Amino acid sequence: MEAAMIKSIFNEFDHRFNYKNHSELNSGHINDTFFVETDGHKNYILQRINHSVFKDVPGLVNNKALTSNHLKSKYPNLSKDELSKKVLSFVKAKNSDFYYFKNGNDFWNVMVFIENSVTHEIVKDKEIAYEGGKLLGEFLNGTLDFDSSQLIDVIPNFHDMSFRYKQYASSIQSASKERLKKAEKYTKIVAALKDEMHILQNLKETRKIPVRVTHNDTKISNALFTEDHKGICMIDTDTVMPGIIHYDFGDAIRTICNSAAEDEKDLSKVEFNLEYYKAYEKGFLEQTAASLSAVELKYLPLAAKTMIFIMALRFLTDYLNNDVYYKTKYPEHNLERAKNQFKLIESFSKKIAN
């Protein structure tokens, strides 16, 4: 996107510094994200929020701001400056909303960039897995007393397996013959796993597992680290809303324990890393074990399998729907992502007995 355009949108926000340059960060599948460098000591992240995926953007932005405020209240001894290095800080637009709405079309928001931080698309070090587990644990501890009635359901039924299965079933009805043929092998795997993959949903619905405030997009690239591998905080709070901890634990494991990227086409590179699973679980439980029930604990391994499956199912559904939801870089991108996730389930199942 052109510098003049990014600069003018950035200038709609209430910050003290001048735009110097920007670069696009390409890891997300839904929003457009830019790093904005300024002439001052603070840099920023500017984001265009995808309005066709997120129907209520003002509600979403409000969720994010409330979440940050709540998390900040957990560190009463930190100064404002120290807090902005530990928790996401959102910047108001000049009209004092936390978003800017351009031309009746695009929603933008801005947050302060946490300096000297890095993200990881693939984990190559056990310490990252361990620190990642601690970070999620800290996040969930921080939101334990957060009144979820303040939050909107950003995407209703987001990780609801029955809902995702229905979407998949209807994509099968409308898919082209060509895509259906290419997906055939995977539709058989879905059918074989269907019942097992609804267990967590059923436990949630029968209230055997409690609903808490969860992050809902805990892939490892949504965790911020220092350059020397210490956890800073969870980022991308777009989907913070009520959920079960299994969504968060499982989605993190899905990415941390995949030896390759989520869309790696060479499936021989896709292996489930048990050592990283143990390290993540250790970090996570050090923080959360005291507040988890026996049922929550018992189903952590199934959470991993279920979240790998739900992503496989969603990628496959989007492929059958001709790629209307996720950004894709080539025609079979969603199918490749789905294949990758199914391979990960296979590898997981060989290494972990539920």
| Contact positions vs ligand GN1 (CB under 6 A) | 28-30, 53, 217, 219, 236, 239, 262, 311
Q: According to CB under 5 A, which residues from 205 to 264 bind Mg ion?
A: 217, 236, 238
Please state whether 115 falls in left (phi above 0), alpha (psi between -120 and 50) or beta: beta
**Nearest C-alpha neighbor of 24 from the set 52, 57, 48, 54:** 48
Q: Binding string to Mg ion for residues 162 to 201, with x set by CB under 5 A, is what?
A: ----------------------------------------
Start-to-end CA distance of the chain, whole Å, equals 47
Q: According to CB under 5 A, which residues from 99 to 118 bind Mg ion?
A: none
Query: CA-to-CA distance for 352 and 8, rounded, in angstroms?
Result: 52
The strand ranges marked E within 227-326 are 231-234, 241-243
Query: CA-to-CA distance for 129 and 113, rounded, in angstroms?
Result: 23
Query: CA-to-CA distance for 293 and 26, rounded, in angstroms?
Result: 38
Q: How far is the CB of 174 from Mg ion (least distance, A)?
A: 26
Nearer to ligand GN1, 61 or 83 (CB): 61
Q: Which residue is nearest to Mg ion (CB)?
A: 217
Phi, psi of 109 (to 5 degrees): -140, 165
Instruction: Choose among Mg ion, ligand GN1, none what residue 53 binds, the Cβ cut-off being 5 to 8 Å by kind.
Output: ligand GN1
Q: According to CB under 5 A, which residues from 257 to 316 bind Mg ion?
A: none
Instruction: Kindly report the number of other CB atoms within 10 A of residue 331's CB atom.
Output: 11
Nearer to Mg ion, 152 or 285 (CB): 152
Q: Which residue is nearest to ligand GN1 (CB)?
A: 30
> 3-state class of 80 per DSSP?
helix
Q: How far is the CB of 30 from ligand GN1 (least distance, A)?
A: 4
Q: According to CB under 5 A, which residues from 30 to 69 bind Mg ion?
A: none
Residues near Mg ion (CB under 5 A) are 217, 236, 238
